[in-house]
Chains A and B, each alone.
Chain A
Amino acid sequence: MTANLNLWLIPVLALAGAAINGFFGKKLSRRAVTTVALFFSGAAFAMALLVVVKFSSLSLPYQEFFAHWIRITGFSADFAFYLDQLSLVMLLVVTGVGFLIHIYSVGYMWDDPSYYRFFSYLNLFMFFMLTLVLANNYLLMFIGWEGVGLASYLLIGFWFTKDSAASAGKKAFIVNRIGDFGFLIALFLLIKQFGSLNFAQVFSSVVHLSAGPASESLLTAVGILLMVGACGKSAQIPLYTWLPDAMEGPTPVSALIHAATMVTAGVYMVARSHVIFERAPTALMVVAIIGTLTALFAATIGIAQTDIKKVLAYSTVSQLGYMFMACGVGAFSAGIFHLMTHAFFKGLLFLGAGSVIHAVGGEQDMRKMGGLKSFIPWTFLTMGVATLAIAGIPPLAGFWSKDEILWKAYSSPNGSWVFWLIGVLTAFITSFYMFRLLYMTFFGDYRGAKVDGHGHAAHDAHGHGKPHESPMVMLVPLMILAVLSLVGGLVGWGNHFEHFLAPVFGTGEATTETASSFTEWLLMGVSVAVALLGWWLAHLLYYRRADLPQKIADAFGSFYETVVHKYYIDELYAAVFVKPLVDGSTRILWQGVDRNIIDAAVNDAGEGARHASNEVRHMQSGNIRSYAGWIAAGSAVVIAFMIWMWTEAR
Chain B
Amino acid sequence: MVPSYVPLSYYLLLSGFLFACGVVGFLIKRNIITIFMSIELMLNGVNLSFVAFAAHWQALAGQVFVFFVMVVAAAEAAVGLAIIIAVYRTRETLNVDQVNLLKL
Chain A positions within 8 Å of B, measured between CB atoms, are: 617, 620-625, 628-629, 632
B8 at the interface (CB under 8 A from A): no
B100 and A632 contact, CB distance less than 8 A:
no
Task: Render B77-104 as a binary contact track against A, CB cut-off 8 A, 1 for contact.
Answer: 0000000000000000000110111111
- Write 18 A-B pairs (CB below 8 A) sorted by A numbering: A620-B103, A622-B100, A622-B101, A622-B102, A622-B103, A623-B96, A623-B97, A623-B100, A624-B35, A624-B99, A624-B100, A625-B26, A625-B27, A628-B26, A629-B27, A632-B23, A632-B26, A632-B27
Which residue of chain A has its CB nearest to the CB of B23? A632
Q: How far is the CB of A617 from chain B (nearest CB, A)?
A: 5
**Residues on the A chain within 8 Å of B30, using CB:** 625
**Residues on the A chain within 8 Å of B35, using CB:** 624-625
Complex alpha-carbon distance, A629 and B27, angstroms? 6
Complex alpha-carbon distance, A628 and B36, angstroms? 12
Q: How far is the CB of B87 from chain A (nearest CB, A)?
A: 11
Complex alpha-carbon distance, A73 and B77, angstroms? 71
B104 and A620 contact, CB distance less than 8 A:
yes
Complex alpha-carbon distance, A122 and B1, angstroms? 94
A628 and B27 contact, CB distance less than 8 A:
yes
**Residues on the B chain within 8 Å of A625, using CB:** 26-27, 30, 35, 96-97
Q: Which of B1-48 contact A (CB under 8 A)?
A: 23, 26-27, 30, 35
A621 and B100 contact, CB distance less than 8 A:
yes
Since A624-B96, A624-B99 are in contact, a sample of 7 more A-B pairs with Cβ atoms closer than 8 Å, ordered by chain A residue number, is A620-B103, A622-B100, A623-B96, A624-B35, A625-B27, A629-B27, A632-B26
**Residues on the B chain within 8 Å of A632, using CB:** 23, 26-27
Q: How far is the CB of A49 from chain B (nearest CB, A)?
A: 78
**Residues on the B chain within 8 Å of A628, using CB:** 26-27
Complex alpha-carbon distance, A621 and B97, angstroms? 10
A617 and B97 contact, CB distance less than 8 A:
no
**Residues on the A chain within 8 Å of B101, using CB:** 622
Complex alpha-carbon distance, A620 and B103, angstroms? 6
Among A621, A628, A629, residue most surrounded by chain B Cβ atoms (within 10 Å): A628
Classify chain B: how many residues form its interface, as a range: 10 to 19
Chain B positions within 8 Å of A, measured between CB atoms, are: 23, 26-27, 30, 35, 96-97, 99-104
Q: How far is the CB of B37 from chain A (nearest CB, A)?
A: 14
Complex alpha-carbon distance, A622 and B98, angstroms? 9
**Residues on the B chain within 8 Å of A617, using CB:** 104
Complex alpha-carbon distance, A625 and B26, angstroms? 7
Complex alpha-carbon distance, A376 and B27, angstroms? 100
**A-B interface, 6 closest residue pairs, ranked by CB to CB distance from nearest:** A622-B103, A622-B100, A624-B96, A623-B100, A617-B104, A620-B103
Q: How far is the CB of A359 from chain B (nearest CB, A)?
A: 73
**Residues on the A chain within 8 Å of B97, using CB:** 623, 625
Q: How far is the CB of A507 from chain B (nearest CB, A)?
A: 89
**Residues on the B chain within 8 Å of A629, using CB:** 27
Which residue of chain A has its CB nearest to the CB of B28? A625
Complex alpha-carbon distance, A34 and B104, angstroms? 64
Complex alpha-carbon distance, A620 and B100, angstroms? 10
Given contacts A628-B26, A629-B27, A632-B27, contact A621 B103 (CB under 8 A): yes
**Residues on the B chain within 8 Å of A622, using CB:** 100-103
Complex alpha-carbon distance, A624 and B103, angstroms? 11
**Residues on the A chain within 8 Å of B99, using CB:** 624
Which residue of chain B has its CB nearest to the CB of A629? B27
Q: How far is the CB of B89 from chain A (nearest CB, A)?
A: 18
Complex alpha-carbon distance, A542 and B6, angstroms? 127
Complex alpha-carbon distance, A628 and B29, angstroms? 11
Q: How far is the CB of A639 from chain B (nearest CB, A)?
A: 11
Which residue of chain A has its CB nearest to the CB of B32? A624
Complex alpha-carbon distance, A106 and B35, angstroms? 85
Complex alpha-carbon distance, A179 and B100, angstroms? 70
Complex alpha-carbon distance, A625 and B100, angstroms? 10
Complex alpha-carbon distance, A511 and B36, angstroms? 109
Complex alpha-carbon distance, A622 and B103, angstroms? 5
Q: How far is the CB of A475 from chain B (nearest CB, A)?
A: 77
Which residue of chain B has its CB nearest to the CB of A636? B23
**Residues on the B chain within 8 Å of A624, using CB:** 35, 96, 99-100
Q: How far is the CB of A314 from chain B (nearest CB, A)?
A: 69
Complex alpha-carbon distance, A189 and B61, angstroms? 74
Q: How far is the CB of A633 from chain B (nearest CB, A)?
A: 10
Which residue of chain B has its CB nearest to the CB of A614? B104
Which residue of chain A has its CB nearest to the CB of B97? A623
**Residues on the A chain within 8 Å of B96, using CB:** 623-625
Which residue of chain A has its CB nearest to the CB of B26? A628
**Residues on the B chain within 8 Å of A623, using CB:** 96-97, 100
Q: How far is the CB of A629 from chain B (nearest CB, A)?
A: 6
